Amino acid sequence: MGIGIKGRWFTEPDTNRTLLFRGVNLSPNTKLPVGIPSHKRESFWVDYDRHVTFVGRPFPLSDADEHLQRLVNLGFNLLRFIVTWEAIEHEGPGIYDEDYLDYVVQVLKKCEEYRLQVYIDPHQDTWSRHCGGSGHPGWTLALAGLNPLHFPQTNAAIVHNLYSPPENFPKMIWNTNYNKLAAATLFTLFYAGRTYAPKCIVNGVNIQDYLQDHYLSSLTQLAKRIHDNHLEDTVVIGYDTMNEPGKGYLSVPNLSEISKDDVDFKKGLTPTAFQGMLLGAGFEAQVGFWELKWNGPRKTKDVWVKPDMTAWMTDQEVKEAYATFRWERDFNIWPAGCVWATHGVWDPSHQDLLRPDYFVKHPKTGQPTHYNDFWTDHLLAYERAIRHIHENAILFVQPPVLEAPPKLPANLNRVVYAPHWYDGLTLIKKKWCNYNVDYINLSRGKYGSGPLRFLRALRVGEKAIRQCFVDQLETIRKESIEIVGDYPCVIGEIGIPYDMEKSTTTTLSHVSSFWYWILSLLGSSNTDTLTDSQNAIGSPQSDQNKAFDANINALEKNLLNFTLWNYMPDNSAEWGDLWNGEDLSIFQSSDNNKSTDDASVITKQTNSFVKSPYADVSVAVTNDTIISSTDSLQGLLQQYQQESNVRNLISLHRPHPYLTAGYPLNINFVSPTEKICASFEYSFEYKSTTHGPTEIYVPSCYFPVTAVATDDTELTSRITVSVGTWQAASIHNQYWILLWSIEEDQDITEVKITIEGITVI
């Protein structure tokens, strides 16, 4: 039967309890074939990248128990499981990697052993690895006639594999590729080729149909394997729509202009759509260079870009590619070269833009068109393809990142809204600042118009920043109900960069914070510095810990389901997530971190926690009971010090209500410091029609069941409930499950539990 859906809540059908998901993305290394991280040129674009393998992504099967047990220990009960079209169909159209499909099934069976539920994420970023992102096969670029090796010179995409030197790849620059020639062309062809590229006929069908049919067929190959191995509903509860889809050129009002919206992402060289077409055809152009300031992107200069080649394949290269993949096309109708010149959008002979509004009107009828219409058509085709196999699949729907959602067709059911949200300032600057901006509400028009709206959206100081995050996610949650419909909401991606610059400020008052911000804008760095121990990632005062706690607090305050970005089994101390300089993994093995400084961080961090001993017991208790024990922790501290995760943040360990005998009302977690005890409060509306107790995951490090310190000091947790009784069950070294039973035969408007723990020692 699978997971139930009741309004904004997931439910457990047999008991009618509310299910709240705390999940993680597994894993960003699935974006990349084995042996080709984004910073290496070797083996990139060799024979159209047909002969690659993704078997072993996210981890070798022999390592599955280690990683999945770690995720269970951390309290995760949902995985956003990343797959790519390239991983399934890289060798050529209709040729599926059977070894990879078999491998995925084996990993999913392992997930079943650990009672982890999964939704499949068909992942892409800016179309493909060859466009500086990930996701779709290399042959799709050959189909359109593009040559990835010429993208850097023509600014058709910025690609880490082709960037020299790779360690100087600009921070978070890859996102600009969505609006550059390569990705913009492919997304336009994928969603609207029939409308805007009718001459692009391959093997008798339009390129839109050819691309979409193969994309859907590759994913249904996986869905069939999941179905045949009885993994539906018990493990795989549904399917995400395409990750962070691009708009291409659709809805661009004028191809010769950059968006005037000053909250749109712009960084580095940012050509207009027409400039991108000129550069792609080998013509020079003067392109704006943009930088991200506190008040949005600003153009700082113009740069002449003079390519000495084109981004398009030659006639001979196109014919060789088409012979390789057994494609047929009429070169008299669709010649090699720029697709958009072929369709009369611009004139290469005079370098003139002929139809600046080409992509906002139907070329034949002249009627206005919008990206959402094309996206919705594909969404419905995707839904039919998946549910033809997995009838009960939940559809996790996401629009382009950070945009307001479109209205979904009324006939869609079992839908979940699954947008992404990041604290963009911290993500791009890789720094935890003393100020931030209420970006979502700014972009939705809450602060009016004109430059003063940035000041209205500005938040200064830690308390204001934390509330700013709560407000932004509240807006997303309300949009989910008001626009998408009365469905659950899962934040499909949220996370922090771990490779932050070391903090250079002490804890400041609001006034001091404001003046530090002013000084920082002026370039001053005359501030006090934090100590090394405060900067250590395992410290309660570390910037990573502050940022992470602020993000998760915002999710909890809004009672949102989520899947963190990300868990990366082979995250590297030098190269992060091995993709475009990103480094957001909550896990990094000490084996991948060889520097002396990092080793000292591990020691500081792991000595900060106390583990509870393993005990297979269930202790029946009543209200206001203090749990304590005289059991020794000798040997267990030593075991904990061998924990390999360098990134065991203080605030990563927090209680979470898995199942609730009613509807959640409020979650409040206070992360511990050297002086403040960990505490957790949870309240919900009790429903007498539910069956079974409320089940809460509790991390042992701050809320021990039975433990004493090595100096014989008792470590205790105080638990109080407003009604009913509770007991501790499934007690492990790293966590235990609290079962809270209420036997009332009538509904109760609000019931509450409080768990008080220990400080970081």
State whether residue 168 is helix, strand or coil. Answer: helix
Assess whether the previous peptide bond of 168 is cis (omega < 30° from 0).
no
Distances 416 to 181, 242, 480, 660 between C-alpha atoms, Å: 32, 14, 9, 19
In terms of Cβ atoms closer than 10 Å to its own Cβ (0-12, 13-18, 19+), residue 713 is exposed
Q: How far apart are CA 261 and CA 263, in angstroms?
A: 6
Please provide the DSSP assignment of 356-413 as one string. Answer: TTGGGB-TTT--B--HHHHHHHHHHHHHHHHHTTSTT-EEEE--STTSPPPPPPTT--
From 493, 556, 582, 695, the catalytic residue: 493
Assess whether the previous peptide bond of 27 is cis (omega < 30° from 0).
yes
As given in the structure block, the two tokens for residue 316 are: 């001979």
CB 632 within 8 A of CB 708: yes
Q: How far apart are CA 589 and CA 398, in angstroms?
A: 32
CA torsion, points 161, 164, 168, 172, in degrees to nearest 10? -40
Reply yes or no on whether 284 is catalytic: no
From 86, 89, 232, 244, the catalytic residue: 244
Burial 147-179 (b: 16+ CB within 10 A, else e): bbebbbbbbbbbbbbbbeebeebebbbbbbbbb
Reply yes or no on whether 493 is catalytic: yes
Compute the radius of gyration of the chain from its Cα atoms: 27
Q: How far apart are CA 339 and CA 317, in angstroms?
A: 15
CB 383 within 8 A of CB 216: no
Which of 442, 470, 489 is closest to 550 using CA atoms?
470
Task: Report residue 663: phi and psi, to 5°.
Answer: -120, 130
Catalytic residue IDs: 244, 493
